[in-house]
């Protein structure tokens, strides 16, 4: 995983923050998928604005530089979260994103807060193993087939990693972001709750090494190029063949 300081210009963050405010004013919950906004005709324009914002931002280039591949956006799994002090429903315990975006493919998540996090408002906490851990171990231990849906406690983490993991709780200012893959073990920082914060996580996949899920399910919305939102192009190709 990697942190990027001042990766996104101030005026661009202001535009994003305004879009997120609009999205959350319309969404009935504090957590919302951009795909859900897209499917509702009354909020589709906000979702389109968020997808356009993504393609104009430096985030696709962060993906290219990190992976050497061309990115597509998993609109289906791009989610907005507003955390309000005292509310627990937007807190997520230890998990890996492979649980819902799938294990296969070159995937990257870029988590972008539009408020300062890590001092008063909760950001993310990562558990970084200090010894090599097989992807298979993480895949088996954090599986959605667990009774709690793959969301684990501190005790579960101890059982999996022992004492050999390090906690990383980055302080991020608006414009900073973190990038991680589907294997990164993380949660909402449980130690902070004094201020609200809004964040969006852009989940990207490789057009040349896509997750099986984006290929197999034609109802998963992606944006594989600026101006396009729909199923992964392989489905469009099949439909028009």
- Which residues make up the interface to ligand AKG (CB under 6 A)? 79, 81, 92, 97, 124, 186, 188, 199
Name which of 35 and 235 has its Cβ closer to ligand AKG: 35
Name which of 142 and 235 has its Cβ closer to ligand AKG: 142
Question: Cβ–Cβ contacts within 10 Å for residue 230, how many?
Answer: 15
Report DSSP letters for 163-212, one per residue: T-EEEE---B-BTBEEEE-TT-EEEE-TT--SS-EEEEEEEEEESSS--H
Q: How far is the CB of 10 from ligand AKG (least distance, A)?
A: 22
Q: How far is the CB of 188 from ligand AKG (least distance, A)?
A: 3
Are 146 and 188 within 8 A, CB to CB?
no
Please tell me the distance from the alpha carbon of residue 63 to that of residue 24, in angstroms, as a whole number: 27
Name which of 63 and 126 has its Cβ closer to ligand AKG: 126
Q: How far is the CB of 100 from ligand AKG (least distance, A)?
A: 8
Q: Which residues pair with 127 in a beta bridge?
A: 167, 185
Q: How far is the CB of 147 from ligand AKG (least distance, A)?
A: 19
Are 112 and 53 within 8 A, CB to CB?
no
Give the strand pairing for 108-113 and 79-83.
unpaired
Name which of 186 and 232 has its Cβ closer to ligand AKG: 186
Are 123 and 170 within 8 A, CB to CB?
yes
Backbone φ, ψ for residue 117 (5° rounding): -125, 155
Q: How far is the CB of 47 from ligand AKG (least distance, A)?
A: 18
Name which of 96 and 235 has its Cβ closer to ligand AKG: 96
Q: How far is the CB of 225 from ligand AKG (least distance, A)?
A: 25
Name which of 123 and 210 has its Cβ closer to ligand AKG: 123
Burial 158-185 (b: 16+ CB within 10 A, else e): eebbeeebeeeebebebbbbbbbbbbbb
């Amino acid at each position: 995983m990697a942190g990027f300081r001042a990766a996104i210009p101030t005026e661009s963050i202001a535009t994003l923050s305004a879009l997120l405010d609009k999205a959350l004013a319309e969404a009935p919950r504090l957590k919302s998928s951009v795909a859900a906004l897209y499917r509702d005709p009354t909020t589709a324009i906000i979702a389109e604005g968020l997808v356009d914002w993504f393609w104009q931002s430096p985030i696709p280039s962060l993906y290219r530089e990190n992976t050497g591949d061309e990115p597509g956006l998993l609109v289906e799994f791009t989610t907005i979260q507003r955390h309000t002090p005292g509310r627990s429903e937007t807190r997520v315990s230890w998990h890996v994103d492979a649980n819902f975006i799938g294990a296969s493919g070159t995937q990257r998540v870029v988590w972008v807060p539009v408020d300062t996090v890590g001092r008063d408002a909760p950001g993310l906490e990562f558990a970084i193993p200090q010894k090599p851990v097989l992807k298979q171990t993480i895949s088996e231990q954090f599986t959605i087939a667990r009774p709690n849906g793959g969301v684990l406690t501190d005790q579960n983490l101890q059982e999996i990693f022992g004492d050999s993991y390090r906690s990383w709780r980055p302080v991020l200012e608006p414009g900073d972001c973190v990038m991680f893959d589907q294997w990164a073990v993380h949660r909402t920082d449980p130690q902070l709750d004094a201020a609200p914060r809004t964040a969006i996580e852009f989940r990207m996949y490789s057009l040349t090494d896509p997750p099986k899920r984006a290929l197999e399910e034609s109802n998963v919305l992606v944006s594989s190029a600026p101006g396009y939102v729909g199923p992964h192009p392989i489905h469009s190709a099949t439909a028009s063949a």
